Amino acid sequence: MNMSRTARTEAQSRRELVVSRVFEAPREQVWAAWTNPGELARWWGPRHFTCEVRAWDAQADEAIDLTMIGPDGDRYPMTGIFHEVEAPEWLVFTANAVGEDGHRHIEALTTLVLDAVGEATRLTLEVHATALSEAGLGMIAGMEEGWNQSLDCLAQVLAR
């Protein structure tokens, strides 16, 4: 069967991702790394990125506003809003990757679940993303690698 260009583009514009990791840290410590803006800035983003956090108050209906900065100096702003927060078990938020001009490239609904496993924590991250621009198609294509690198950075922060 030959897919039409429109159907191919629509299929390429959506991405679902589930990542699960076990961290050798108590659930409250992993929760703090996700909900404390200072801690979040230490690990959010792919390897070799830094992060400026302007708004990250993990409460329902609160805004998200941060910028990831690549090693080349390119800036990747993100805005969004928290929908559900149940400490220290789960977060649900919408994140929008936006251009410097404010145009949205991606909209992603992200659910984070933290389960205590003895002294460790199982993190399950579920992301439903939609590309809203040509640039967004490239972003969701690299979403799995980006999240895995971010979680590698989180693991390094938690190990300190």
pLDDT tens figures, 58-108: 999 999 999 999 999 999 999 999 999 999 999 999 999 999 888 999 999
The CATH number given to 5-159 is 3.30.530.20
pLDDT score, position 9? 53
| CA 157 – CA 160 distance, rounded (Å) | 6
The residue extents of the domains of the chain are 5-159
Here the tokens at position 156 are 């390094």
Q: Which two tokens stand for residue 23?
A: 């961290």
Share of the chain above pLDDT 70, in %: 93
The model's pTM is 0.90
Evaluated on CA atoms 123, 66, 139, 61, the torsion sign reads positive
Q: How many angstroms separate the CA atoms of 22 and 60, rounded?
A: 26
Residue 35 has pLDDT above 70, yes or no: yes
